[in-house]
């Protein structure tokens, strides 16, 4: 079962790790100002002195780096069409359709991106995610009866969203022992009680000293567009998060570096 969105936001504040920040629209620093281009890579230039880490063009990380974004200034919408105002939470919106049902929440958005990546490469036999009930994988080709059409894929993903969550995805992913090894496509994820949260690493940059920074994205409750997160802890507003051991504070959740996991 999916957790329903709390009627009173203080309920969320009381849950482990949840945060809230006052309404505000945080601009990126001048040397990181988004360009009119429409992908993660073209809109978010690395901070001064940093360069993007090299990635294979067929990798999951490259797929995320080249995700299309909605036009600058776009707002996140919930599954029912209502607007999620910026409130210092997000800076951009991933351009991907959202079902009019409360299904694609945080872990679901991560699985959606992974599934879309594999589907885009015709790797249909590798599209599978575990159910919460028994921890066993459900395969796209089995569910679709061999139908590899995009509507069949989307129907399969809705099926997954209904029976998988942060807990099942957490157990499906493998831990990353050292956060300094972070790669685009990795996931910060907590099981949580009664529910957890997950954010995905969209991109990673590095400077000559070996220091890294990353871009993060999430969906949330209720189901909503996937969004590029603002770093609420930075002295100067930015979307880049330093890669470091210890706490990772995002606008709506607290993680720890030990929460980093990776698709097998």
**Encoding tokens for residue 7?**
């009627």
Give whole-number Cα distances, 47 to 20, 62, 208, in Å. 26, 19, 13
Give whole-number Cα distances, 15 to 11, 138, 169, 194, in Å. 7, 30, 20, 8
Q: Where are the domains of the chain?
A: 9-262
Q: What is the pLDDT of residue 5?
A: 37
- 3-class secondary structure for 65-119? HCCEECCCCCCEEECCCCEECCCCCEEEEECCCCCCCCCCCHHHHHHHHHHHHHH
Bridge-based pairing of strands 227-229 and 212-218 is antiparallel
pLDDT-flagged residues of the chain (< 50): 1, 3-36
Rg, C-alpha atoms of the chain: 17
DSSP 32: G
Closest of 200, 186, 114 to residue 153, by C-alpha: 114
Q: What is the pLDDT of residue 19?
A: 40
Q: What is the pLDDT of residue 193?
A: 80
pLDDT (tens digit per residue) in 21-62:
332 233 344 344 444 459 999 999 999 999 999 999 999 999
Mean pLDDT of the chain: 89
Q: What is the pLDDT of residue 175?
A: 98
**Encoding tokens for residue 239?**
């979307």
């Amino acid at each position: 079962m999916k957790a329903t969105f709390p009627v009173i936001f203080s309920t969320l504040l009381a849950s482990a790790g949840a945060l809230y920040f006052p309404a505000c629209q945080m601009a990126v620093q001048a040397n990181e100002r988004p360009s009119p281009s429409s992908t993660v890579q073209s809109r978010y230039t690395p901070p001064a002195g940093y360069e993007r880490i090299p990635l294979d063009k067929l990798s999951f990380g490259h797929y995320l780096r080249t995700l299309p974004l909605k036009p600058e200034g776009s707002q996140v919408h919930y599954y029912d069409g209502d607007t999620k105002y910026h409130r210092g939470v997000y800076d951009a919106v991933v351009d991907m359709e959202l079902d009019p049902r409360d299904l694609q929440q945080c872990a679901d958005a991560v699985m959606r991106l992974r599934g879309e990546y594999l589907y885009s490469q015709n790797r249909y036999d590798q599209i599978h995610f575990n159910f919460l009930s028994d921890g066993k994988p459900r395969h796209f080709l089995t569910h679709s009866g061999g139908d590899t059409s995009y509507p069949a894929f989307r129907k399969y993903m809705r099926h997954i969203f209904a029976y998988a969550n942060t807990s099942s995805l957490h157990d499906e992913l493998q831990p990353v022992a050292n956060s300094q090894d972070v790669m685009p496509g990795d996931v910060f994820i907590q099981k949580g009680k009664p529910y957890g949260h997950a954010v995905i690493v969209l991109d990673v940059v590095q400077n000559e000293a070996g220091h890294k920074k990353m871009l993060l994205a999430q969906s949330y409750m209720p189901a909503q567009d996937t969004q590029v997160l603002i770093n609420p802890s930075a002295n100067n507003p930015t979307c880049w998060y330093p890669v470091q051991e210890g706490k990772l504070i995002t606008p709506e959740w607290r993680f720890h570096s030990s929460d980093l996991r990776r698709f097998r």
